Structure 1
């Protein structure tokens, strides 16, 4: 009798062990995940069946299985079905894993891609001895926010196309749907423009770069020419690559400020007409676009070429940190203020942004701008990116404008992630540990519930003054990007302790992706 009890207990324990020995945690956390008994073993390439509309997701799955180098390459009785289900919402998916069949249901290619990304995490988490062993389960999932963004500044430092694709892979894995590509700056113009070749011949290169930190005095410079730009062919390649992974690429063409590289290429675009160099230093500069008609002609020509490269809905026009020093002393700018009945230079900036918005809208696009575009009056159809805290987002939402929250204290990944900065790579400053990002709530408490719909999401920003290499970018982004993915995707996040365990489980996936991630998990002080 006792022997029988022991055998029954052993069988029961073995079943439970099988049930929970597989790793089933996905980042970001799905809305609903039901674990079932049994599992699927994949030793070689499954049969792939896909409705035509979902072929991109099927292709991603095929490529992912190939990378895992399974035990043999013969097709098995296992199969995966990508099935169109028009009843589901735009980004929603259902993933079903049974012992001999996997099904991903979605109403759109985007939803199917997200289903694949969840499956791909499970496959990588449960790949051992050349075999994938997946727990049977059902996942029903869709995002909390429609805008889930990550940014990368390539103006201060530029990175190869292969790295841009790698960065996009990281975003895709975590179901971000917007890549904000910051392409123009005081320190370099990074997009090919055919009509104005000096933007690339002159504006894409600086003669020197600051050594060390901005606060180190006296300033020292490396006296080394630095720069480059992305050709139209390369940009199209990146945009196509992102689209295949469910990601929209948003170009940022800064105006009226952060434009010294453009003014250095064509001095007549500035207020003084004097020759200036591409900035070798970080910070904010007074050399901004003049508000005369010739500048608008130039910028409209730029937009004409940009819209041909980026098929998405948005163009980001910057609008931040534009000192009005030169405008105050500029006859052309003062004439515009008088002609348009404006009160002062902040209203001139509003005029500048509104005029460009009207042209961009005529091209079938909408503008996003940093929250300074609120000053002097907000352009009629603009989406506001609130970076100087939450006040800009609150103000814009109250004006019934869509808002993307990206407060610098929480969402700027160029800040230090550890208190012991002596053992960290150089950063601009600040301190944003992963738990602070994880605890972030994009909808401010102060905002009336009726206006919550105007907060369309959040974004992490990566400013690269101190990130000379792609390895440094990766170190600053990973794993903090995991925390942000939970913020923008998941309605009910797990505890931070559970989240930490999930991230540690994903380290081997980051190793496979050759990502130079940090292992900092510093807690906020009580």
Structure 2
């Protein structure tokens, strides 16, 4: 069996379009065995699908038809066909792809595996196969090969923050296609925050009438005190969400909604002031960072958000629902007679336990309805509610603690997987914030913390790249920050632990041609194009010493509650 590093760079077709092949695919397949010859798509090529895979055949026809102008009709198996075949020996998500001069055969244990095999096949074609219309005549050839492949992790996720910057529906659908191209299967939608509420809730219309709009936005880092003076807003109707969820499901992507509470809620409080702790009304937030305004802990507020979740659950049928739980300042609770009374009533020691109790109301609500609560790792600090999956973002110590307590975890440390952070030390990077997270650093990330035993590591469902949008104010900028780092992340969560960055960079040269065909404005290896810079928006870079100190402080908060887990 040859490794990807054994292959030469892809050949060029007569039109200058690089021929694909399994040795250029991202994420790299597990096993690749090249053979002699190639399969050439033509006007007579048909797609033969087992009944369970007909949807995948329909997707493949729609993906390849516009660029090739081949109809790729349904037909019986035989020479000259692309065959989608059920294979009982393959687990879910796994596939086997066999290409000969006569046929293409994709075998899979379930429709998701067949879909991933079809994605690999598409990448093995010339890059122009990713265009939405025909620009040449081919040849549309696929080198002969046998590929055997399956993902390492079940959770291969990406968070897109649509609360800080609303991403219009069509742009979000485009990103779902980009995630599917890279075999990513979870889209975590951060729908609510201090600066905007993006989901229509019919029972509480002011959440979008008021909470979906802010009067202006901070430009660059908050410390510079610069504002753009432009209203910003937008939201998804419930029918929009149904469409987004269905579109993602057709591509084997689960959409995980986040309704953040009890912090990051100023937009909701602006719409319904009785949810807050203050007597005066608040505007929707216009600055970034941790905001002091949080929900009160009264019964009517809990009932309000349970009613919100009633509608959320109807719109999002997936197992997981995120309740946030992160970055909750406690000053308003310390000053609130109602919060103090609630703590006395429940016998709670401090505001951390009050936060845990508050979040617990919603984790129990979700469990009772057959869902799996998902929350950020701050929920560890007041006692972890049962059945909660933890998103470990403040380093990986939260993942270690949660796994050893018997909870599932998703690793997404800000030090490694926050794709809104700067990509190099070049001052031309647009709005440079945070520490440097380079393409190579993303590729080198290991989702399973080394402290975990083999048994404990089974609690790691996978990893998630988070794209927060305080400083990403357009789909073009989103492309720049996401790619090609998201391609590197896809390989981290799909393939084996052992990886070769030199080989990845070689394959990325071919993959960038695919991204160009898709219209993705990725970051060039040499740095930003002039039009990708943002000299009007100053950032706030951090060095690794600052980041390490912050992680130590957060770790101390967890240790204070649980002690330090033994290695």
The TM-score range, normalised by the shorter chain, is over 0.9
Give the secondary-structure state (helix, strand or coil) at the position aligned to 2:467: coil
Quick one: which of 468, 485, 491 aligns to 1:486? 491
**1:12 match:** none
For the residue of structure 1 that corresponds to 2:222, the secondary structure is coil
Q: Which whole-Å CA distance do the structure 2 matches of 1:300 and 1:255 have between them?
A: 12
Structure 1 residue corresponding to 2:356, chosen from 350, 353, 367: 350
> What is residue 120 of structure 1 aligned with on the other side?
122
Aligned residue in 2 for 1:89? 91
**Shift in Å, 1:520:** 2.5
Match of 2:198 in 1: 190
Q: Distance in 2 between matches of 1:52 and 1:199?
A: 44
Deviations 1:333-389 (A, max 9, x none): 111111111111000011011111111112221111110010110010000000000
Is 1:370 matched with 2:376? yes
Alpha-carbon spacing, 1:49–1:213, altered in 2? closer, same or farther (3 Å): same
**Partner deviation per Cα, 1:477-500 (whole Å, 9 max, x = no partner):** 000011111111111544211100
Query: Residue 359 in 1 paired to residue 358 in 2?
Result: no
CA contact (8 A) 1:87 1:107 kept: yes
Shift of 1:268: 0.5
Structure 1 residues 512 and 380: alpha-carbon distance in aligned structure 2, compared to 1, 3 A threshold: same
Conserved in 1, the CA contact under 8 Å of 2:49 and 2:74? no
SS at match of 1:509: helix
Whether contact under 8 Å (1:206, 1:226) holds in the other structure is yes
Q: How does 1:91-170 map to 2 (within 5 A)?
A: 91-125=93-127, 129-170=137-178
TM-superposition CA deviations, 1:105-157 (whole Å, max 9, x none): 11211111111111111124486742211111111111111110011001111
Q: Structure 1 residue 72: deviation in Å?
A: 8.5
Change in Cα spacing, 1:89 to 1:32, as seen in structure 2 (3 Å) is: same
Q: Given that residues 214 and 286 in structure 2 are in contact (C-alpha distance below 8 angstroms), is that contact kept between their aligned partners in structure 1? A: yes
TM-score (norm 1): 0.92
Q: Which runs of 5+ in 2 are unaligned?
A: 1-9, 13-17, 130-135, 528-543, 545-567
Match of 1:462 in 2: 467
For the 8 Å contact 1:256–1:289, the answer to whether it is kept is: yes
Conservation of the 8 A alpha-carbon contact between 1:412 and 1:462: yes
CA distance in structure 2 between the aligned counterparts of 1:45 and 1:203, rounded to whole angstroms? 54
TM-aligned CA deviation for residue 424 of structure 1:
2.2
Q: Give the structure 2 partner of residue 438 of structure 1.
A: 443
Aligned twin of 1:4: none
Report the 3-state secondary structure (helix = DSSP H, G, I; strand = E; otherwise coil) of the residue aligned with 2:143.
Answer: strand
Query: What is the deviation of 1:86?
Result: 2.5
424-433 or 227-236: bigger deviation: 424-433
Matches of 2:156 and 2:266, distance apart in 1: 30
Any conservation in 2 of the 1:29–1:493 contact (CA below 8 Å)? no
| Structure 2 match to 1:403 | 409
**Partner secondary structure for residue 415 of structure 1:** coil
| Greater mean deviation of Cα atoms: 131-140 or 38-47 | 38-47
Whether contact under 8 Å (1:435, 1:521) holds in the other structure is no
1:336 aligns with 2:334: no
Aligned to 1:447: 452
Query: Is the counterpart of residue 309 in structure 1 residue 322 in structure 2?
Result: no
**For the Cα contact (< 8 Å) 1:46–1:75, is it kept in 2?**
no
* 2:244 aligned residue: 238
* Residue equivalent to 2:217: 209
CA distance in 2, matches of 1:519, 1:347: 47
Alpha-carbon spacing, 1:340–1:510, altered in 2? closer, same or farther (3 Å): same
User: 3-state DSSP class of the match of 1:179?
Assistant: strand
Aligned to 1:34: 33
Q: Deviations over 1:144-195 (max 9, x none)?
A: 1111001100111111111101111111011111000100010000000000
Instruction: Tell me the CA shift for residue 209 of structure 1.
Output: 1.2
Tell me the distance in 2 between the aligned counterparts of 1:475 and 1:126: 21
The 5 A counterparts of 1:421-436 are 421=427, 423-436=428-441
Tell me the CA shift for residue 283 of structure 1: 0.8
**Shift in CA distance, 484/509, structure 1 to aligned 2, threshold 3 Å:** same
Equivalence for 1:298: 304
The aligned counterpart of 2:189 is 181
Partner of 2:53: 54
Question: Is 2:496 the counterpart of 1:500?
Answer: no
Q: Cα offset for 1:45?
A: 5.5
- Do the aligned residues in 2 keep the contact of 1:27 with 1:174 (CA within 8 Å)? yes
Indicate if the aligned counterparts of 2:46 and 2:73 stay in contact, CA closer than 8 A.
no
- Aligned-partner Cα distance in 1 for 2:220–2:258: 27
Distance 2:500 2:401 in 1: 32
Q: Secondary structure at the match of 2:105?
A: strand
Whole-Å separation in 2 of the counterparts to 1:108 and 1:22: 26
Residue in structure 1 matched with residue 541 of structure 2 by the alignment = none
Q: Is the 8 A contact 1:22 1:126 kept in 2?
A: no
Q: Deviations over 1:418-465 (max 9, x none)?
A: 2112x2221433210010111111111122222110111001000000
Which structure 1 residue ranges, 4+ long, deviate > 6 Å from structure 2? Answer: 71-76
Deviations 1:238-282 (A, max 9, x none): 111110111000001001100000011111111224211100100
SS at match of 1:242: helix
- Distance in 2 of aligned mates of 1:140 and 1:268: 57
